[in-house]
Amino acid sequence: MERSETMANKKTFSLKGILHFLNSRKVAPYVFVSPFIVSFLVLYLYPMIQAIVMSFQQVLPGQTTFIGTHNYQRILNPTFFQALGNTATYVFFTVIILVMIPIVLSVFLNSKSLYFKNFFRASLFIPALTSVIVAGIIFRMMFGESENSFVNELLGLVGMEPVQWRYGAGTGMFLMVLLASWRWIGVNILYFLAGLQNVSEELYEAADIDGASAWQKFLFVTMPALKPVIIFVATITIINGFRMFEESFVFWENSSPGNIGLTIVGYIYREGIQQNDMGFGAAIGVVLMLIIFVVSMLQLKFFGAFKKED
């Protein structure tokens, strides 16, 4: 009886001790960040190591064997290069479109001479609220093959032949780039608008005194001030471009004629999931990561993001 009481006492004492320990200012921050540490270890570090290990294995249900660099050798095939080519083309066009158009539109949206600014800004943002799937459903319908579909009818009005949008490599790429551009322009406009708030009025006033034209002001005052935002937007567009999958899936469900819509991630999905060849899929993933890393670095170097002055 007495014994159990002392034990209970001890327990409460140690519980208090634990609470006191957990509540100290030295320990509390570690408790706060523990969810990130756990998720980093379980959801990032482990899968990343596992992806690299798997890329050297043949993964079959209940049986994995190391096969050296065989998966990597297999990557060097025409289908992969086609996927890489498609993805690179997509990245190229989305970066150009999603940097240039939003810059121009945001400069106008920022000018005093535009009426209904907030309305326009909000309207251009609405496409960003749709999922790629829903947006793709709309685009498939508007760019239907028949001559009675929306866009083909408009082409007919100017005397052009109906286009088989989803069956040509060029038009297929056009659809994917258009879909992405439509969804992202509004978001990128907001980035540039935020950047424009940091351009000091004084610089424009000084340029006015020097007799600069509107174009010169844009080129020599606005653009340099927007440089960090341009770098940022270009970087996320490149990364998102290399990760592209859904824009292609929604048009062709991962089996496009002649692989015109096949992307690198689509190839991972096809080989790793559909063909259940996880080792090969993982190897493609590792190559994709290296490509993204190298391209991002080259792009940052191109923009001079590593120079001290920034």
Partner 1 sequence: MGKNNKKWVSILLTALFAVITVIALTPVVSLIVASMRPSSELMRQGLSFFFDPATLDLGNYLAVFSEEGASYWQWYMNSLIVSGGLIVLSLFFSSMVGYALAMYNFKGSRVIFLLVLFVLMVPFEILMLPLYQMMIGLSLVDTYFAVMLPLIVAPVAVFFFRQYCLGLPKELMESARIDGCTEYGIFFKIMAPLMGPSFAAMAILQGLTSWNNFLWPLLVLRSNEMFTLPVGLATLLTPYGNNYELLFSGSVLTIVPIVILFLFFQRFFISGLTVGGVKG
Q: Exactly one of 46, 66, 81, 92 binds partner 1 (CB under 8 A); which one?
A: 46
Site map (CB under 8 A) of partner 1, residues 254-283, x = contact: -----------x--xx--xx----x--xx-
CA 86/CA 82 separation, integer angstroms: 6
Query: Footprint of partner 1 on residues 209-248 (CB under 8 A)?
Result: 228-229, 231-232, 236, 239, 242-243, 245-246
DSSP letter, residue 199: S
Query: Footprint of partner 1 on residues 57-76 (CB under 8 A)?
Result: 59
Residue 298 binding partner 1, by CB under 8 A: no
Q: Exactly one of 128, 199, 203, 207 binds partner 1 (CB under 8 A); which one?
A: 128
Residue 56 binding partner 1, by CB under 8 A: no
DSSP letter, residue 244: -
Contact 270, 228 (CB under 8 A): no
List of residues 6+ apart from 22 with CB closer than 8 A: 28, 31
CA nearest neighbour of 98 among 128, 139, 123, 73: 128
CB of 2 to partner 1, least distance (A): 34
Residues in the chain: 310
Residue 142 binding partner 1, by CB under 8 A: yes
Amino acid at 96: I
Amino acid at 181: S
Stretch that binds partner 1, among 49-57, 81-89, 91-99, 200-208 (CB under 8 A): 49-57
CB of 220 to partner 1, least distance (A): 21
- Of 7 and 104, the one with the shorter C-beta distance to partner 1 is 104
CA 222/CA 242 separation, integer angstroms: 29
Residue 71: count other Cβ atoms within 10 Å of its Cβ. Answer: 25
Query: Footprint of partner 1 on residues 150-209 (CB under 8 A)?
Result: 150, 152-154, 182, 185-187, 190-191, 194-195
CB of 165 to partner 1, least distance (A): 9
User: CA-CA distances (angstroms) from residue 175 to 64, 112, 128, 137, 145?
Assistant: 40, 35, 17, 12, 13
Stretch that binds partner 1, among 4-12, 70-78, 123-131, 217-225 (CB under 8 A): 123-131
Residue 141 binding partner 1, by CB under 8 A: yes
List of residues 6+ apart from 183 with CB closer than 8 A: 127, 128, 130, 132, 135
Q: What are 44's two structure tokens?
A: 């990032």
List of residues 6+ apart from 310 with CB closer than 8 A: 227, 228, 304
Stretch that binds partner 1, among 70-78, 88-96, 117-125, 215-223 (CB under 8 A): 117-125
- Of 262 and 278, the one with the shorter C-beta distance to partner 1 is 278
Residue 115 binding partner 1, by CB under 8 A: yes
